[in-house]
Each structure stands twice: as structure tokens, then as C-alpha cells.
Amino acid sequence: MPWCEPCDKFYNPNTVSGDGSCPSCGTKIDAPAVVVASNRIPWHFWLLAAAAGIYLGWRAVQGVVALLGLF
């Protein structure tokens, strides 16, 4: 969320000027929200997400094998 110190105000990313400055006082506010979001996600989050994906995929395979074993 873009925050302007001098104005003491939050701004919607869409209302911030194209260059990322405050529309009322012109202070440089923040990097574009998308860049900030991707920088805040640590690498170990993606490692965990990948591990969870592999684990769930493996569980899905096991589930299908178990179901096939019933017939």
C-alpha cells in the first residue's frame, strides 16, 4: 500500500502518479505494488510451496493407486 509521509495518507496504487509520486505533494511514495510484493516473498516460501506441491502430487498418485487397487 503506497503511503505518503508528508500527507499522512494512504493511496490506492491506481491514484498514485505514473512515476510513483504523491498526487497532492509530489513526494516519491513507493515502488509499484507488484515489485514490492515480489520482493517481500522470501525464497524459502517458494521452496516450501514447491515441497508442498511435490508432496501433494505424490499423495494424489498414491490415492489413485489405492483406488485402482480396490477394483
- One-letter identity of residue 38: S
- With the CA atoms of 19, 23, 26 and 31 taken in that order, what torsion angle do they form, in degrees rounded to the nearest 10? -40
- Cα(1)–Cα(15) distance, integer angstroms: 11
Nearer of residues 24 and 62 to Zn ion, judged by Cβ: 24
Binding footprint of Zn ion, residue count (CB under 5 A): 7
Nearer of residues 6 and 57 to Zn ion, judged by Cβ: 6
- Residue list 6-65, contact with Zn ion (CB under 5 A): 6-7, 22, 24-25, 27
Nearer of residues 27 and 62 to Zn ion, judged by Cβ: 27
Q: Answer for the pair 15, 3: CB distance below 8 angstroms, yes or no.
A: no
Contacts with Zn ion by CB under 5 A lie at 4, 6-7, 22, 24-25, 27
